[in-house]
Amino acid sequence: MEKLQKATFAGGCFWCMVKPFDQWDGVEKVISGYTGGSIINPTYEQVKTGETGHYEAVEITFNPQKVSYDQILDLYWPQIDPTDDGGQFHDRGPQYRTAIFYHTTEQKEKAEDSKRKLENSNKFRLPIVTEILPAVAFYPAEEYHQDFYQKNEQEYLEDREKSGRDEFIHHHWK
């Protein structure tokens, strides 16, 4: 039996962070949730105030025999604006900051290396502010947030369009 691993990323609204990873061969599941804050089992209502210290994040369970952590990192960066420390796109506040939460020393080294490569690429004029932090307790979000892009496709597409995320991605990453 293959040993599964976890990768945890914050990239703004977790609704927009599930689909890119969910569709990769080797990704077993992607859970929307909260991490990095001071409250145990926070609710969306608590986190959205921006006062709990939590990030909206996704926890990705993957099979490293089919998809590597490096590949997952390569998919993460183009989903975000790594220069924005006030949130992502139209979602503002500390709960929408970007971060890579590493689960192992190897993940930390790979995340730092990928960030360094992005900084050295001169793709952005502003500094890369995405933090690289140790993984801490991850709390799954409420059920209605899980697989939102599938359950509420029209609302998901409308939110994504008005957020400016896709325009940014197309302009900076394509």
- Number of continuous H segments (helices) and E segments (strands) in the chain: 7, 8
Residue 173 belongs to what H/E stretch? helix 165-173
d(CA 138, CA 36): 8
d(CA 119, CA 19): 26
| 93: nearest Cα among 39, 52, 121, 140 | 52
Candidate list 13, 16, 18, 30, residue with the active-site label: 13
d(CA 118, CA 112): 10
Nearest-5° angle of CA 144, CA 146, CA 151?
70
Q: How far is CA 44 from the centre of its chain?
A: 16
Pairing, β 98-102 against β 131-134: parallel
Query: Is 16 designated active site?
Result: no
For the annotated catalytic residues, the residue numbers are 13
